[in-house]
Structure 1
Amino acid sequence: MGKLEGKVAVITGGATGIGRAAAKRFVEEGAFVFIYGRRQDVLDATVAELGPTARAVQGSVSDEADLDRLYAAVKAERGSVDIVFANAGPGSPLALGQITAEHVDETFDTEVKGTIFTVQKALPLMGKGGSIILTGSSAGTTGAPAFSAYSASKAAVRNLARTWAEDLKGTDIRVNVLSPGATATELAKEALGEEGQKAFAAMTPLQRMADPTEIGAVAAFLASSDSSFMTASEVAVDGGLAQL
């Protein structure tokens, strides 16, 4: 029996990268998974890969009406949710001196507002023993050149977990942050190119970028009862990048 047998999970940003790797691991561990993202064709391809215990809902985490549709679909088919992995939120670079209001709004709408409402709208469907996982980043601790808005938004996500652990006292719902370092997702490969990937690998004590499956494995740990005495914690899965 898998560690997530009988559990229902929602994963935002679930069609690619870390989200897809986590969805695959959750399914392997016995969970029924709803993946959520913006591109219907990519969602459909991922669900076909994941199999009969996966569903896809298209939408944006920055749109409350879309999130309402997501949780309406979860309620209609499964009735409740045990695991929420608020993972959506790719970052884009703009160096100080080039930052625009639109860039800041877009970043915080996805990373902060999107995380807040992904979680808040799930709460009516969550019961005791639920697990909330927020995707942070090593950049939220160290900062990252040209990633002012993204780094600040991930520092905010880290604080959301601390605050929500207080707000959720008495519910037996846990909330933790999973903070990857440089990870070889499709988006990262496209954005960084070969030279950029080599540079990030060189900055990391393990001298490589993470594979998304390595992040997905830790998400499964935080989703399961193996982490039952953890809340308000941050788990760094960054090859040592933000630790030294």
Structure 2
Amino acid sequence: MERLSGKVAIITGGARGMGASHVRMFVKEGAKVVFTDILEQEGQALANELGENVKFIKHDVTKSADWQHVVEETEKTFGPVHILVNNAGITMSKSILEITEEEYRRIVDINQVSVFLGMKAVIPSMKKVAGASIINISSVNGLVGGAVGYTDTKFAVRGMTKAAALEFAQHGIRINSVHPGAVATPMIIQEDVKDAVEAWAKTLPLQRVAQPEEVSNLVVFLASDESSYSTGSEFVIDGGVTAQ
């Protein structure tokens, strides 16, 4: 049986990488999916490939008006929303002495404020259905230190998840965070950094980076009714990094 049959999902940052993996697996598991990104050409190509159970919408996750449009289009196309995957995000690795105020505010808007806007926009729709689930993609750097800006926002996602989970548990809406370590996405396997990433991966307990599908398997579990008693929790998928 398809694990997400009858469910409607919104997935942000879904045009490529880990987000595209989530979209593919959600469709495979029977969900109807609206996925969003600023990468219009890549997003539309994926939608054309996957067929009638998906819809792509160009979407700036930092804009509340864009969020309202996405929710309205989702309800119009497939019905009320059961699942939100707040996947969109950017990374940055600069010293606190080098990062500009503009760069810092940009990463906060994309990684942190977008999660707040997404939950705020989607929860009214979720109150119309049973078994709703929000999955906020944080990072291993939402648990341990890393680069300024990225780490701050990923800790914030973890905190927002817990606060929202407590507030909306009474409505049957579950909210959890996922904390991946290094994942083999285009961002980290491009030729100029590939050798360095592979060398670093050998220092991890499992001695490799994750494949996007491994993270998607966890996200599908949290989206499905199989995780019906999990809310306000962190789900770590980091190859053993935080066990060291």
Range of TM-score over shorter length: over 0.9
Aligned to 1:141: 143
Q: Is 2:188–2:194's contact at 8 Å kept on the other side of the alignment?
A: no
Aligned to 1:26: 26
Q: Pairwise CA RMSD of aligned residues?
A: 1.3
Q: Is 2:8–2:79's contact at 8 Å kept on the other side of the alignment?
A: no
CA deviation string 1:180-207 (max 9, x = no partner): 0000101222396123312441342111
User: Compared with structure 1, are the counterparts of its residues 181 and 27 closer, same or farther at alpha carbon in structure 2 (3 Å cutoff)?
Assistant: same
Which region of structure 1 is more displaced relative to structure 2, 45-54 or 76-85?
45-54
User: Compared with structure 1, are the counterparts of its residues 191 and 135 closer, same or farther at alpha carbon in structure 2 (3 Å cutoff)?
Assistant: farther
TM-score, with structure 1 as normaliser: 0.95
User: Compared with structure 1, are the counterparts of its residues 207 and 192 closer, same or farther at alpha carbon in structure 2 (3 Å cutoff)?
Assistant: farther
Residues in 1 aligned to 2:195 and 2:22: alpha-carbon distance in whole angstroms: 27
Per the TM alignment, residue 139 of structure 1 is displaced from its structure 2 partner at its CA by: 1.2
CA deviation string 1:109-139 (max 9, x = no partner): 0111001001110011103310000001001
Per the TM alignment, residue 142 of structure 1 is displaced from its structure 2 partner at its CA by: 1.6
Residues in 2 aligned to 1:206 and 1:51: alpha-carbon distance in whole angstroms: 36
SS of match in other structure, 1:170? helix
SS of match in other structure, 1:166? helix
Q: Which amino acid aligns with 2:97?
A: G
User: Compared with structure 1, are the counterparts of its residues 166 and 208 closer, same or farther at alpha carbon in structure 2 (3 Å cutoff)?
Assistant: same
CA deviation string 1:35-60 (max 9, x = no partner): 10001101011112222211100011
Residues in 2 aligned to 1:13 and 1:30: alpha-carbon distance in whole angstroms: 20
CA deviation string 1:128-185 (max 9, x = no partner): 31000000100121212xx211011000100111101111131011000011000010
Per the TM alignment, residue 63 of structure 1 is displaced from its structure 2 partner at its CA by: 1.2
Q: Which runs of 5+ in 2 are unaligned?
A: none
Aligned to 2:68: 68
Q: Which runs of 5+ in 1 are unaligned?
A: none
Task: Report the number of matched residues.
Answer: 242
Is 1:242–2:242 an aligned residue pair? yes
CA deviation string 1:72-122 (max 9, x = no partner): 111211220100000100212112311210111001101110010011100
Q: How does 1:1-244 map to 2 (within 5 A)?
A: 1-126=1-126, 127-144=129-146, 147-190=147-190, 193-244=193-244
Residues in 1 aligned to 2:86 and 2:203: alpha-carbon distance in whole angstroms: 27
Residues in 2 aligned to 1:242 and 1:14: alpha-carbon distance in whole angstroms: 27
Residues in 2 aligned to 1:30 and 1:169: alpha-carbon distance in whole angstroms: 25
Which region of structure 1 is more displaced relative to structure 2, 199-208 or 84-93?
199-208
Residues in 2 aligned to 1:59 and 1:213: alpha-carbon distance in whole angstroms: 24
Residues in 2 aligned to 1:140 and 1:190: alpha-carbon distance in whole angstroms: 24
Residues in 1 aligned to 2:98 and 2:113: alpha-carbon distance in whole angstroms: 23
Q: Which runs of 4+ in 1 moved over 3 A?
A: none
Residues in 1 aligned to 2:167 and 2:192: alpha-carbon distance in whole angstroms: 39
CA deviation string 1:186-231 (max 9, x = no partner): 1222396123312441342111111101111110000001111000
SS of match in other structure, 1:179? strand
Residues in 2 aligned to 1:43 and 1:108: alpha-carbon distance in whole angstroms: 24
Q: Which amino acid aligns with 1:36?
A: T
Q: Which amino acid aligns with 1:33?
A: V
Q: Is 1:200–1:209's contact at 8 Å kept on the other side of the alignment?
A: no
SS of match in other structure, 1:142? coil
Which region of structure 1 is more displaced relative to structure 2, 208-217 or 122-131?
122-131
Residues in 2 aligned to 1:152 and 1:242: alpha-carbon distance in whole angstroms: 17
